[in-house]
Structure 1
Amino acid sequence: MDITLWIVQGLLAAVYLVAGGLKLVRSRAQLVATGRLDWMKDNSDAAVKGVGAVEVLGALGLILPEATGILAVLTPIAAVGLVVVQVLALRVHLTRDERQPLPANVILLLLAAFVAIGRFLG
C-alpha cells in the first residue's frame, strides 16, 4: 500500500507543481489566451497567483514531510487541502457551466482523498 501511496503522491505532486507553477510564472492574460482557463477571466491576477501558490505548496506538502520524516502528519493535511481545492474548483466550473474540466477535477479530488485517508490511517 505504501508504494501505491507514493506513486499517487508523486503523480499528484507533478500535476500540481506544473499547474500551480504555470499560474505563478505566467500572466493571467497568457493563461486565458490558451482558451482552457476561462474561469480566470472573472478573477484578479492576485486570485490566480494565490491559487497557484496553494497548488505548489500542496504539491510540496504531499512529498517533503513524508519523505524527510519531519512532521509527516503534514502530508495527509496537504492532501486534504488539495481535496478542498478541487471541491472549490468543481463549484467554480459548475456555476460557470463549464463541463469539460469536471472529470479531471473529480479524479484529482479522489486521488487526493486516497492519499489523505491512506496517510492518516497508515
Structure 2
Amino acid sequence: MNLALWIAAGLLAAIALTGGVTKTFVPRAKLAAAPGGEWTGRVGAQYIKALGIVEILAAIGLILPAVLDVAPVLVPITAACWVVLMIGAMITHLRDGGWKFVLVNLVYLAIAVFVAWGRFGPHAF
C-alpha cells in the first residue's frame, strides 16, 4: 500500500506541476484558445499565474516533505487541499459545459482523496 500511495502522490505531483507550469508561463490568450481553457479568457492574467504557482507548490508539497522527512504531514494536507482545488475546477468546467474535463478532474480528486486517506490514516509517515 505504501508503494501505491507513493505512485499516486507522484502522479498527482506530475499533474500539478504540468498544470502549474502551463498556467504560470503560457500566455493567457493561448490558454483561452486551448480546449478546456475557455475560463482563462474570463479571469485576469494574475489570477491564472497565482493559480499556477499554487499548483507548483502543491507538486512540491506532495513529494518533498516525505522525501526529506521534514514535516511529512504536509503530504496529506496538500492532498486534501488538492481535493478542494479540484472541486473548484469541476465547478468551473461545468459552467463551460466541459463534461470531459469534469470527469478528468474527478479522477484527480479521487487520487488526492486516496493519498490524503492513506497518509492521514493507516499508512502515515
Name the TM tier (shorter chain). over 0.9
Structure-2 separation of matches of 1:39 and 1:99: 14
RMSD, aligned α-carbons: 1.0
Work out whether 1:34 is the aligned partner of 2:34: yes
1:111 offset after TM fit, Å?
Answer: 0.1
Work out whether 1:105 is the aligned partner of 2:110: no
Question: 2:118 matched to which residue of 1?
Answer: 118
Structure-2 separation of matches of 1:27 and 1:94: 23
- Report the residue type matching 1:3 in the other structure: L
- The number of aligned residues is 122
1:106 offset after TM fit, Å?
Answer: 0.2
- Report the residue type matching 1:24 in the other structure: T
Q: Which residues in structure 2 correspond to 1:2-81 (within 5 Å)?
A: 2-81=2-81
TM-score, normalised by the number of residues in structure 1: 0.95
Structure-2 separation of matches of 1:86 and 1:34: 19
Structure-1 separation of matches of 2:84 and 2:35: 25
TM-score, normalised by the number of residues in structure 2: 0.93
1:32 offset after TM fit, Å?
Answer: 1.5
Deviations along 1:77-119, one digit per CA (max 9) or x if unpaired, are 0001111110001111122322120110000000001000100
- Report the residue type matching 2:13 in the other structure: A
Deviations along 1:19-66, one digit per CA (max 9) or x if unpaired, are 111111111112122243111111110111111111111111000001
Runs ≥4 in structure 1, deviation > 4 angstroms?
none
Percent of paired sites with the same residue: 39
- Report the residue type matching 2:71 in the other structure: L
